[in-house]
Structure 1
C-alpha cells in the first residue's frame, strides 16, 4: 500500500549506559554512555513504522538545514521524503538512560517555530495515496490553510487518520478517524473525570466539534474507545503486555488503523487491529527495538500482543523471578485455575508453555484437542495470574523451557525428580523445579466425557 504521512518531524536520541557512581560535583548519577541510538520522531516515526511493515511510505514534511536534519534524513532511509523548508532548527529530544531507566531528557530547537509553508511538491505527494495519516506534533505544518484544504478534499475519497496534538491544529472535517489519547480527549472536549465514562463523554463532544466520521480515544492498557455517529461507543480491549516505555504506541496505533481502513476494514475491525498492533509493538521492545537488525529482533508468539521471551527478559532485568509451567489446557477448569494461581505466587511473572494442536494430537489422539491452540492461548492469557503464553510444537516442553530458562518450573501434582526429565534441564542454569497441589476431582478427560454424554 502507498501510505502518505504528513506532519512534523524531530530527531530522537537515546544515550544509554551504566550508572555505578555519583558525581563528585553534585549528588547525581554519572552515566557511562556505551550506546547512542538515533531515530526519526514525530511523523517520521510513523513513516518508519509503515516502511518497516513493507508499505510504500511517503513522508510529507518540512526540514531544516542543520546537522540534525542530516542525521534525521539518514534515519529515514527507505522512506520517500518530500520536504519543504522549515525555517527553523531541527528539534532534537535526547533521553539519557541509566541501566535501562530514564534519568533526564533535554530538548534542543523546540521553541515555537514560524509557520511553515507548503510547496507544490508536498501537495502533489498526497495524490494516489491509499490512506493518509496526519501526524500533528504541534510544529505548525498542519495549520497551513492550503494543506488543510487539500486534506479536506481528499478525505471524501481516501481514509484520513488524524493524530492530534494539544499544541496543534484541529482536524479538518470529514476525516475517517481522529485518535487522541484519553488525556488529550478530555482536554480538547473540556470534560472532567477519568476512565471509560469520561472518554465516551469526550468522544461525543469531539464528534460534534470536529465533524469527523469517528473518534477513537486510546486508553493505554484499557484499550481504545470507538465512537461514531449514530452508534453506541465500543470499547476495544488491549492485550495485556509488559512494557516499561510506552513511547510510540500512539504512532503504532495510528499507522495500523490507517492500513486497516485502506484495506477496507470497518472502523471497529480496524480499531481492533490497531490496538493489537500497538500492544505487540510495546511487547516487542517499543521504539528501543526499532533499530535492531532482523537477527536481533525478539521472537514473536502466535498470540497477538504477547511475547513470552520479552516478558522473561524484562522480569530478569528488573531483578524479578521468572516462573513457568506447561500443559495442554484443553478445557480450562478450576484445577487449572488453582494450579496457575499458585504458580504465579512463586515469582514475579508466570509464563505458560502451551502444547500446540499438533502436539496435543500426538499425545492424546486425533480427537483432541477439543479447543484450538489460538483459543486456548487466549483463554489462558485472559487469566490475571498469567503474564504470557508460549506455544510449542514438540511432544515435550524442553525446547520451550530452554528458550525461556525460567528460575522456577512448576508442575501440578506429586512427582519424583526422576519422573520429570525437564527437572535436570532447569537445574542446569540454576533453576528449580517444584510442584503445587493438584486437584484430582477436576480433569479435562472427565469434562470431555461429561460433554460427550450430554451431546
Structure 2
C-alpha cells in the first residue's frame, strides 16, 4: 500500500533540558540544555509517522536550498521525497522544553510565501497512491491549480484526507474527509466563540456545504471528534483520557491514521474511532518529544496506553498504584465489591485483564463469553477502575513487570502459594494483599444459570 502525503514541510527543532534556577539578569528560567534534536514538521511529520509503521510513503512538497532544508532532507531519510522549489526560506519552529514543560517557541521564516509552482514530477507521484493525506500548513502549495485538479480527480478513486489550515486553500470537492480542529472549524464556519458540541456541529454543517466533501471530521481535543458524513447522522467519538501535555502532532497523527484506515476499507465512523485512539496513544506515549526513538511506540491493546499513563501520572505525584487481575468474564456483584475494595487501597486501580486467547487456554474453548474489548469497556465504565492492561500470556507476570504496581490485590479465596506473582511484586518493593471473598458469586455459576434459562 502506498500513501502519498502532500503539503508544506517545516523544520522543528526541540531543545530540551532542565530548569533549576532563575537568571540573575531577569526573572526567567535558565535552561541547562541536555539535547538538541531536529525533525521534520508539517507534512514531513505526517510522512514520518506513516513511515515508522513500515508503510510505503511518498512525500510531495516544496523545499528551499538553505541550511534548514538540508537538515529537513536528513530528517526525511528513508522517505521518497519529490520536491519542487519553494521560492522562500525554510520555516523553522524551535521549541524549548524544561523538565517536559514547554517554555517558549521561536518561529523563523513562517510568513506566507508566494505560491510555489508544481513540477510534473510532483504530479506524477500521485498516480500510484492508494490514499492521500493533504497536510496544509498555509504556505500556498495547496492553492496551486494543477495540483488541485490532480487531487480532485484522485478523490474520486482513492481516499483523500485533507487537514486544512486557516491560511490555506479550501479543500477540493469530493475528498473523503476534511479534519479541522475545533478553533479552525469555528473560524472557517463563521461560528466564532469557544465552541462545544452544538457549535462544532453547526460549523461542520456549514463547512460540509461549502467544501462539498464526503465528510467533515472536527477534532475536539480531549473530547474526541465529531464526525459529520454528507449522507448520515453526526456522531461524537469520545477520546480516551490522557495526561495533559504538548498536543503538537496529535492532529497529524489523527489525519494519518484516518487515511490509512479508509485505505484499508474501514468505514468512516470506525476509521475515525481508530484515529481518535491513535491520537490519544500518541500523546500518552510522549507526543512529539518521544519521536526521536528509533522505533515506533509498541502497539498495545485498547486501554493499555491509558493504564500505563495513569499509573505513571499517579506515581509522579507520589501516589500509590494498585492493581488486580483476572478474566472478569460476566461481571457480577462479587467482582464489583472486590474492585471497589481494591481501589480504596491507593490512588488509582489498574485491572490486568486476560486476553481472549489467554482465557481460552485457562477456561476452555467455550470461554470467554464476552470478548476482551467489551470486558475492558465494562471494567472502565466502573468508577473505581482507572485503566485496563490486557495481557496475552497465561499469567500476568510480564504485564506486572511493565506496570510495577505498589499493591497487588486478589480475592480472599486465594492463598499465597497460589499467587506466584507475589514474589515478583516484592522485587520492586510492592506488596500483595487479599480482600474479602464473596461466596456464591462466580462467573461459572452465572454462566450455568444463563444456560438453563436459554
Same fold (TM over 0.5): yes
Q: 1:40 to 1:422 in 2, by over 3 A?
A: same
Q: 1:342 to 1:117 in 2, by over 3 A?
A: farther
Q: Deviations for 1:234-278, whole angstroms, at most 9, x for unmatched residues?
A: 223334444633221211121122222223333223323322332
Question: What pairs with 1:360-439 in structure 2 (closer than 5 Å)?
Answer: 360-413=359-412, 420-439=419-438
Question: What pairs with 1:118-137 in structure 2 (closer than 5 Å)?
Answer: 118-137=118-137
2:196 corresponding residue in structure 1: 195
How far, CA to CA, are the matches of 1:280 and 1:367 in structure 2?
32
Which structure 1 segments of 5+ residues have no match? none
1:146 corresponding residue in structure 2: 146
2:222 corresponding residue in structure 1: 221
1:35 corresponding residue in structure 2: 35
Q: Deviations for 1:39-64, whole angstroms, at most 9, x for unmatched residues?
A: 11101111111222222211111112
Which structure 2 segments of 5+ residues have no match? none
On the 8 A contact 1:324/1:350 being kept in 2, the answer is yes
Q: 1:361 to 1:60 in 2, by over 3 A?
A: closer
2:4 corresponding residue in structure 1: 4
On the 8 A contact 1:164/1:170 being kept in 2, the answer is yes
- 132-141 or 188-197, larger mean C-alpha shift: 188-197
Q: 1:227 to 1:101 in 2, by over 3 A?
A: same
2:236 corresponding residue in structure 1: 235
- 174-183 or 66-75, larger mean C-alpha shift: 174-183
- 181-190 or 218-227, larger mean C-alpha shift: 218-227
- 223-232 or 412-421, larger mean C-alpha shift: 412-421
On the 8 A contact 2:409/2:433 being kept in 1, the answer is yes
How far, CA to CA, are the matches of 2:380 and 2:353 in structure 1?
11
2:212 corresponding residue in structure 1: 211
Question: What pairs with 1:87-166 in structure 2 (closer than 5 Å)?
Answer: 87-166=87-166
How far, CA to CA, are the matches of 1:76 and 1:342 in structure 2?
51
On the 8 A contact 1:284/1:307 being kept in 2, the answer is no
- 272-281 or 46-55, larger mean C-alpha shift: 272-281
Confirm or deny that 1:23 pairs with 2:17: no
1:284 corresponding residue in structure 2: 285
On the 8 A contact 2:314/2:320 being kept in 1, the answer is yes
1:454 corresponding residue in structure 2: 453
Using the TM superposition, give the Cα deviation of residue 329 of structure 1 relative to its aligned residue in structure 2, in angstroms. 0.7
Q: Deviations for 1:126-178, whole angstroms, at most 9, x for unmatched residues?
A: 22222222111112211223322332233233322111112222112222211
How far, CA to CA, are the matches of 1:448 and 1:41 in structure 2?
53
Using the TM superposition, give the Cα deviation of residue 205 of structure 1 relative to its aligned residue in structure 2, in angstroms. 0.8
On the 8 A contact 2:304/2:388 being kept in 1, the answer is no
Using the TM superposition, give the Cα deviation of residue 216 of structure 1 relative to its aligned residue in structure 2, in angstroms. 1.0
How far, CA to CA, are the matches of 2:363 and 2:132 in structure 1?
51
1:266 corresponding residue in structure 2: 267
2:255 corresponding residue in structure 1: 254
Q: 1:160 to 1:26 in 2, by over 3 A?
A: same
Confirm or deny that 1:302 pairs with 2:301: yes
2:342 corresponding residue in structure 1: 343
SS of match in other structure, 1:430: coil
SS of match in other structure, 1:125: helix
Q: 1:125 to 1:300 in 2, by over 3 A?
A: closer
How far, CA to CA, are the matches of 2:257 and 2:184 in structure 1?
20
How far, CA to CA, are the matches of 1:358 and 1:120 in structure 2?
52
TM-score using structure 1 length: 0.90
1:323 corresponding residue in structure 2: 322
- 68-77 or 240-249, larger mean C-alpha shift: 240-249
Using the TM superposition, give the Cα deviation of residue 70 of structure 1 relative to its aligned residue in structure 2, in angstroms. 0.8
Q: 1:212 to 1:365 in 2, by over 3 A?
A: closer
On the 8 A contact 1:4/1:132 being kept in 2, the answer is yes
- 269-278 or 2-11, larger mean C-alpha shift: 269-278
SS of match in other structure, 2:380: helix
SS of match in other structure, 1:326: strand
Q: 1:394 to 1:132 in 2, by over 3 A?
A: closer
Using the TM superposition, give the Cα deviation of residue 435 of structure 1 relative to its aligned residue in structure 2, in angstroms. 4.2
Q: Deviations for 1:7-59, whole angstroms, at most 9, x for unmatched residues?
A: 11111121112222222222222222112222111011111112222222111
